[in-house]
């Protein structure tokens, strides 16, 4: 060669959009493309972005292979850079074109470090070597650095995972996936949004259930809309006072995935007091008898996709009708910091239906949810008040059941709201600004 390296700038067109959004396929293909060309792979680092797009690099002893994809255009931009003449980057090009199911590709090769323009410096290599150093390839392994990223306009959450996806299926409603993350264990995502993880799910599920149960000790019949992971009904069924718990989940794949890979949350699906229905929660509420449930928990995803209809005034009016005269509705009510406009709008809706003084907000810390601060709403049809509860009973229950987050002190403290949250709750939806929101309000 008359140069130190060969650099091919590649554009792949008409690729499979599905494959261009599959971080595992891309990482495996890039590693295989390097190895097929005879390169020695050192490590790989790949990120999947929400809702779509993958970036990554495979570091090889002879330089690197890098990529960024735009699934919505079926397009990938790829760099293939090899040093010396032992590796042919065109072998990698051919491999990737087939792996990505590309209709066609364009490329340009550059010779990097032309020897005619360089002057060699002589030095003693032995003085630069660490005799005890062990290369990563010495034991035949590489370092894999594969990341899932849930990204919104201004913020993102990235979690490193093993690169081996445990579950991935598309239902008629959404894509259901489970990743094996290194920090939080198995993680359920719906359409690329984090729903729960093994290591922090207990925060959400304990707070959405035990707060209403200890402020309404006469409740006998409960309904959960959504919550196909099983965590909410698991916590409800700890309470022997409940004679029946009905779970209405629209997507049976969520239940299937969690039974397989989140057994901690799906542990109660065979409980004889559970009535499990794979059905549309909106339709179920429309057909529900008046004053049938003492407690209704809306355990919904964010207001997109199949969860969008669970964030309407019509739906909440139906929930109100289905509650007994002393019944309570609990919802996950988004993050006041993440999207202030949605937070304010849904509380304004609750207050118009249940009454200004009957709606209460409480908070919990959930590290894998946007901003880490998450809210729940407590809306009473009668005179139930979340701060009027049996503290001794709550303390004994927390100890007996081995709860990891909820206790009598946390119950009370959750309703101590920061000033900015109080301000938001007293703001009309049309007056919300970006002052507190991590996302644009308009």
Q: Is 306 annotated as a binding residue?
A: yes
- Give the list of residues 6+ apart from residue 358 with CB closer than 8 angstroms, or none: 351, 379, 380, 381
Q: Is 280 annotated as a binding residue?
A: yes
CA atoms within 13 A on the CB side of 123: 7
Of 267, 269, 264, nearest to 198 by C-alpha is 264
Q: Is 205 annotated as a binding residue?
A: yes
Q: What is the DSSP letter of 431?
A: G
Q: Is 299 annotated as a binding residue?
A: yes
CB-neighbour burial class of residue 119 (10 A; exposed 0-12, middle 13-18, buried 19+)? exposed
Q: Is 301 annotated as a binding residue?
A: yes
Catalytic site residue from 15, 83, 258, 288: 83
Catalytic: 288? Answer: no
Catalytic: 68? Answer: yes
- Give the list of residues 6+ apart from residue 209 with CB closer than 8 angstroms, or none: 232, 235, 236, 297, 330
Q: What is the DSSP letter of 332?
A: E
**Residue 203 · residue 364 · CB < 8 Å:** yes
Q: Is 281 annotated as a binding residue?
A: yes
- In sequence order, which ranges of 248-331 are alpha helices (DSSP H)? 252-261, 281-287, 313-322
Distance CA 68, CA 104 (A): 17
Catalytic site residue from 55, 63, 102, 377: 63
Catalytic site residue from 25, 68, 107, 326: 68
Q: Is 174 annotated as a binding residue?
A: yes
**Residue 176 · residue 190 · CB < 8 Å:** yes
Catalytic site residue from 299, 360, 379, 398: 299
Distance CA 405, CA 85 (A): 59
Collapse the DSSP code of 393 into the 3-class scheme (helix H, G, I; strand E, B; otherwise coil) and give the result.
helix
Q: Is 71 annotated as a binding residue?
A: no
**232-242 as b/e, with b when 16 or more CB fall inside 10 Å?**
bbbbbbbbeeb
Catalytically active residues, by annotation: 63, 68, 83, 299
Binding site residues, as ranges? 174, 205, 229, 249, 280-281, 299-302, 306
Binding site residues for spermidine, as ranges? 205, 229, 299-302
Binding site residues for S-methyl-5'-thioadenosine, as ranges? 174, 249, 280-281, 306
């Amino acid at each position: 060669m008359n140069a130190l390296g060969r650099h091919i700038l590649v554009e792949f067109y008409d690729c499979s959009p599905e494959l261009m959004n599959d971080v595992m396929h891309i990482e495996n293909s890039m590693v295989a493309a390097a190895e097929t060309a005879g390169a020695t792979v050192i490590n790989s680092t790949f990120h999947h972005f929400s809702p779509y797009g993958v970036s990554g690099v495979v570091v090889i002893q002879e330089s690197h292979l890098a990529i960024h994809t735009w699934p919505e255009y079926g397009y990938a931009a790829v760099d293939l850079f090899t040093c010396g003449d032992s590796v042919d980057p065109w072998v990698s090009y051919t491999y990737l074109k087939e792996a990505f199911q590309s209709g066609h590709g364009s490329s340009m090769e550059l010779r990097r470090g032309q020897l005619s323009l360089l002057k060699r410096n002589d030095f003693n290599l032995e003085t630069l070597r660490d005799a005890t150093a062990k290369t990563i390839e010495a034991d035949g392994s590489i370092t894999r650095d594969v990341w899932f990223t849930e990204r919104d306009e201004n913020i993102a959450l990235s979690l490193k995972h093993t690169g081996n996806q445990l579950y991935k299926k598309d239902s008629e409603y959404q894509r259901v996936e489970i990743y094996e993350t290194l920090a939080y264990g198995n993680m359920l995502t719906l359409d690329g949004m984090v729903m729960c993880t093994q290591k922090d799910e207990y925060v959400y599920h304990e707070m959405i259930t035990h707060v209403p149960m200890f402020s309404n000790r006469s409740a006998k019949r409960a309904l959960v809309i959504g919550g196909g992971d099983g965590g909410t009904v698991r916590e409800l069924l700890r309470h022997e006072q409940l004679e029946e718990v009905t779970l209405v989940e629209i997507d049976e794949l969520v239940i299937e995935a969690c039974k397989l890979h989140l057994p901690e949350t799906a542990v109660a699906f065979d409980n004889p007091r559970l009535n499990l229905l794979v059905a549309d929660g909106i339709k179920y509420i429309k057909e529900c008898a008046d004053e049938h449930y003492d407690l209704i928990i809306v355990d919904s995803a964010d207001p997109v996709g199949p969860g969008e209809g669970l964030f309407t005034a019509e739906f909440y009016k139906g929930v109100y009708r289905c509650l007994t005269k002393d019944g309570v509705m609990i919802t996950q009510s988004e993050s006041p910091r993440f999207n202030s406009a949605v937070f304010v709008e849904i509380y304004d809706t609750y207050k118009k239906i249940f009454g200004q003084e009957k709606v209460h907000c409480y908070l919990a810390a959930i590290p894998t949810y946007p901003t880490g601060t998450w809210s729940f709403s407590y809306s009473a049809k009668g005179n139930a008040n979340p701060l009027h509860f049996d503290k001794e009973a709550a303390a004994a229950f927390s100890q007996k059941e081995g709860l990891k987050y909820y206790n009598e002190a946390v119950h009370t403290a959750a309703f101590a709201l920061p000033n900015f949250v109080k301000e938001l709750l007293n703001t009309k939806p049309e007056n919300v600004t970006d002052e507190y929101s991590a996302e644009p309000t308009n």
